[in-house]
Structure formats: structure tokens, C-alpha cells
Amino acid sequence: MNSTAMRTHMCGELRDAHIGSTVSLCGWVARRREHGEKLAFVDLRDHSGIVQCVVDNDVDVRSEYVIRVTGVVRARPEGTVNANLPTGTVEIGDCQVEVLNIAEPPPFPVDQRADEVDEGIRLRYRYLDIRRERMQKNLRVRALVNSAIRREMESNGFLEVETPLLMPSTPEGAREFLVPSRKEPGSFFALPQSPQLWKQLLMVSGIDRYYQIAKCLRDEDLRADRQYEFMQLDAEMSFVSQDDVLENIGRAVVAAAKAVTGEEPPTIQRITWLEAMNRFGVDKPDMRFGMELVELTHVFSGTEFKAFAGAESIKGIRVDAKVYPDAAASGRNKLDALTDRAKKVGAKGLVWIKVGPDGTVESPIAKFLSEDEIRSLVTAMEAQSGDLVLIVADNWDTTCEVLGTLRNDIGRPPVHEGPYAYVWVTEFPLFVGVDPVSGTPRPGHHPFCHPHPDDISLFDTDPLKVRALAYDLVLNGWELGSGSIRIHEPELQRRVFNLLGISDEEADKRFGFFLQPFRYGAPPHGGFAFGIDRLTAILAGEENIREVIAFPKTQSGADPMTSAPTPVENSHLAELGLRLLPPPATS
């Protein structure tokens, strides 16, 4: 399958079964070593692997030269077998070498040693970096993920539809990239944060089941799991309940995972947002480890200890004795660091209690607690001698956030380390918090999520309590994606916009193109989108999505290879009706 006019085999596929065959191979010189006076070894590399070729010493090839070798596969002499190489029992002898292209010495070794090289250099020479086994593998894992998803979606009746990249600005929450219009100076297209509006319109159009592996763009600070542009499996379905969506998306995720690992992934668990917050303190829980938050408010309901008395919420986490064996004695720095961290996240303070033998405890607050309280606390936390208990008393949001952060800081394994723990988090709140300026609630996700039918009565009285039919998929503590059942009733959509402080006139002006179609018979519908980069990174055993993207941006949002973003000529700006402001003063 891989043979061409120039080669018969791939380097990495040769085994004992090929001994005696004459083969032609093409690739790059990975290494050349002298072998006595007359001969040299050339390790020849293509994407499939490396094979050793024995060539005449006078053949002038250097690292990364592109060559074609024709020779006979033979067994390596006894004692020279390389068990670390899949082709390590054979070599190519009687070689004819044709130099197809010479190469300058590469800026870094094109093998695993490049992992030690500064990432900026790797990205500057990304085309060489991708020649390496790690990147070759990662891009192939990515392609496996894409093809498995496509196959699965299509076998479930989803139709691939492409949607525009140039579109109006939309209210989906992220900062958009804008593209100035040449024909209408002063007007802009936005690049899609996601195909959200298009896919909902396709439901109005009767497409029924849509999917797309779509490029999405968001102008947000970059991190290990975030790039300006990223790929999502984007899907939408008509006449469905939440379960239909979860089932179909779940199938695509399972198919992708199986295609990469060859194994059936574990069942995707399911918890509500409220349960996730109460047990893990975060809405993207990493369920690979315990250390769950424990409710302690009842333990201290009658306490004399001022910092606990009357607190809306008191919660604790138990840190196993093995984690900080000497936390209370020599480990004060550790406890101070944990307290600082807790304060940075928003706590007024952090209480620590080190459990000793026979129900004794050591803690700066031990003297303020009754024996009963200490006993109930140790029981509630299921604490053993040597364990450390960390407690926060505050409002519910803060106790969750602080202890959720500490739990992750202390216990969370790197994201790409097994086992895999997939979980659906359902019933997200429709609104989160209130805008400090306008006083209106802020949307939890985007404003098209359907409120939970049981909560519509709370709309006018207690909007922050309204749950949405909105759900996320989380893998090992990374949010893979989100989705929801959408509002298909124009009147309800208006009510949500109004609650968000968007008047009917403004809604019509900004999203009329989206709202009007809903008057022409919008079916009930819902959908989901998940990040291909994130799923691929975890399946490929990588901690950073840059490792599974051919040409990513650096953390600071630049491309060291092309130097983008770059200034443009004033004439180009003028054509777009733009003039630059002086750069902002740096302090």
C-alpha cells in the first residue's frame, strides 16, 4: 500500500520475514556511523520507523539528507540485534545509495532529544519537529480520532454540513476575532467561536442530525488546554431529549478512544452540577482520585468558635497521612503555603487539623472546639491518625471553590495519566452570578440553553436557582465540551434575553437574523460540541494540546515559524478603512 515508483517498502515495516528480499526505501538519514574502514551504518528514517542500512564508507550522506537505498534485507550478525528497534533483527546490505536531496545540519537533533529543546525553537522549525516519532505519532492519533468520530456520526445518521467562517458577532461569551470588511469600511465580520447559530438554524431547516468537525476561534489567553483556534466535533439533533444527545455524543467519544487505545473505555459516569460542586468543589471534577469534599456545617451548628459560628457552609477535605507525613511538625511551610493558596482563591482563612492517635488532634484552633465537635469532625472526615484535615467556612461558593482548588492542587495526577475518568455533568445553572454594573444575571453558558422545565416558575422570583438543560463532558478534570437542549420557543428566548438585560429591540437588532427563523417552525432540538484537541492530547498521552496540533501558537499567542501576527502596510489598512492608534503606554 505504501509502495510508490521510488520505494517498495517503508523503513519501519521490515522484519525477519523480509530476509532475502531486495527492497528500495526512501527517507531521511537519522544517523551515520563508521563501521570499520570500508563500511558505514546509515539509520534510515521515514514516518514508519528506522532501519539500519550497511553502505560503503565513501557514500557521502549526512544527517537529514534525503536518500533512496536499494539493497537486500538480511539478518543482523549475531550479537548485533537491537531489541529496542522493531526492525532490530534485520539490516539492509549490498546497498546502492542515491542522494535525492542534501540538507543543512538541523538546528536540533530530529529525535527524542528535541524534547529537551526550548519549545519556541521546536515551533520555529516545526516542520523538522514533526519529522520526529513523537509528533508523527500524535498527528496520526489525531487523524484516528477524527476518522473514528466521522464514521460513528455518519453511522448514526448525522449529516456533515459546513458553515461559514465569516459571520456576525454573536453572544456566546468568548472574545471574538474580528475581520474588517473592505467593502463596508467600519463594519466587521466575526470569526466563529463555534457554529452554534448555524447549527440551530440547520435544525429549523429540517436537517435533523447535523455534525461538523469545525474550526472554532476565540481570542482568549492561551494555556495548556487552549489555543486561539481549535477543532470541535460540533453536533445538533432535532426532536430529542438530553439523553439522546448524551448517548450519541458518548458513542463518538467511545469510538475515538477505542480507535486509539484498542480498548473499550470505561462507562461515562453522570452527575449533576450540584453534586459535582458539593463533592469535588469544581464543575469539571477529576474523578480519578478521592479526597472528596465533606459537608461539616452540621458538625459545627452550635459551635462557640467564632470563625465557624453562623457560616453558611463549612466543608473539609482529608489529606492522607502519606501525602504530608510531617505536616504539623516540620511541615509548617507546607501549611502556610496551603493557607496562602486558599486565601488567593478567596478564603478568609484555612483551618488545618492534624489527627493524632486515640482521637487527639493538633491544630491552632483545637482549644476553641469542644470534645464532641472534634469527635464528630474526625468521624465525618473518616480521618485516621496522621491524616490532615483542611477546613473552610464561608459562603457555599467560596467553600466549594477553595477546597476544590486545594483538592486538585494536592491530589490531581497529570491529566494524561491513566486511568480515564469520563463524566457527564448535567443541570448546570442557567445563570451564574450577577453583572456588577447592570445588576442583571449572567448566562451560565450561552443564552440559547433551555431552562429546566421544573424551574421555569423560578424565572421571575429566583433566577439564579434556575437549572438549565445544559451539560458538559469532562475527562480527567479537563472540560472536553458542552451542550444543551436549546430554546426553540421565540417567546421563551425573549424572556431569557430580557432577564439578561437585552431588550426586545436590542435582541432584534443584534440577533434578529437568528430569532426570526424561529417564528417559522423551529423543532425542539439540542446538541453538543467537544474539543478534538483535548481528547486527542489525553489519548496520545500528552499534557498540552500544542503537542497534538501540527502548527500551534505559543503560549503568548504567536507563531515563531511565520512570525505571525505581523504588522501590515498602511496602504492595506487604508483599504480597510483602518488607522492604527499609537501603541498603549507600558507602565
Q: How far is the CB of 216 from ligand ASP (least distance, A)?
A: 6
Residue 281 lies near ligand ASP (rule: CB under 6 A):
no
Q: How far is the CB of 503 from ligand ASP (least distance, A)?
A: 24
Cell 503568548 sits at which residue?
A: 556
Which of these segments, 17-25, 113-121, 201-209, 525-533, binds ligand ASP (CB under 6 A)? 525-533
Which of these segments, 259-267, 283-291, 311-319, 476-484, binds ligand ASP (CB under 6 A)? 476-484
What's the CA gap between 501 and 270, in Å, rounded? 33
Cβ atoms of 499 and 440 within 8 Å: the answer is yes
HSE at residue 288, side-chain half, CA atoms within 13 A, is 19
The residue among 12 and 483 lying less far from ligand ASP, judged by its C-beta, is: 483
C-alpha 159: how far from chain center = 25
Q: How far is the CB of 163 from ligand ASP (least distance, A)?
A: 11
Residue 482 lies near ligand ASP (rule: CB under 6 A):
yes
Helix (H) or strand (E) holding 234: strand 229-238
- Radius of gyration for the chain, computed over Cα atoms and rounded to the nearest angstrom: 30
The residue among 110 and 487 lying less far from ligand ASP, judged by its C-beta, is: 487
| Strand locations in 126-204 (E) | 159-160, 178-180, 188-190
Residue 527 lies near ligand ASP (rule: CB under 6 A):
yes
What's the CA gap between 87 and 14, in Å, rounded? 6
Q: How far is the CB of 439 from ligand ASP (least distance, A)?
A: 26
Which of these segments, 72-80, 250-258, 414-422, 527-535, binds ligand ASP (CB under 6 A)? 527-535
Residue 352 lies near ligand ASP (rule: CB under 6 A):
no
Q: Which three cell numbers stand for residue 250?
A: 458518548
Residue 171 lies near ligand ASP (rule: CB under 6 A):
no
Closest CA to 420 of 261, 266, 252: 266
Q: How far is the CB of 486 from ligand ASP (least distance, A)?
A: 8
Which of these segments, 14-22, 29-37, 41-49, 481-489, binds ligand ASP (CB under 6 A)? 481-489
Residues 191-220 that bind ligand ASP (CB under 6 A): 194, 196
Strands 159-160 and 178-180: unpaired
Applying CB under 6 A, among 529, 532, 539, 540 the residue interacting with ligand ASP is 529
Residue 248 lies near ligand ASP (rule: CB under 6 A):
no
Closest CA to 389 of 298, 299, 318, 308: 318
Residue 528 lies near ligand ASP (rule: CB under 6 A):
yes
The residue among 242 and 482 lying less far from ligand ASP, judged by its C-beta, is: 482
Helix (H) or strand (E) holding 120: helix 119-124
Which of these segments, 158-166, 240-248, 408-416, 522-530, binds ligand ASP (CB under 6 A)? 522-530
Q: How far is the CB of 136 from ligand ASP (least distance, A)?
A: 30
Applying CB under 6 A, among 408, 484, 493, 544 the residue interacting with ligand ASP is 484
Phi, psi of 85 (to 5 degrees): -115, 130
Q: Which amino acid is at 300?
A: F
DSSP reduced 3-state for 485: strand
The residue among 27 and 527 lying less far from ligand ASP, judged by its C-beta, is: 527
Closest CA to 247 of 522, 538, 471, 486: 471
Helix (H) or strand (E) holding 353: strand 351-355
Please give the residue ranges that form the binding site for ligand ASP (CB under 6 A): 194, 196, 482-484, 527-529
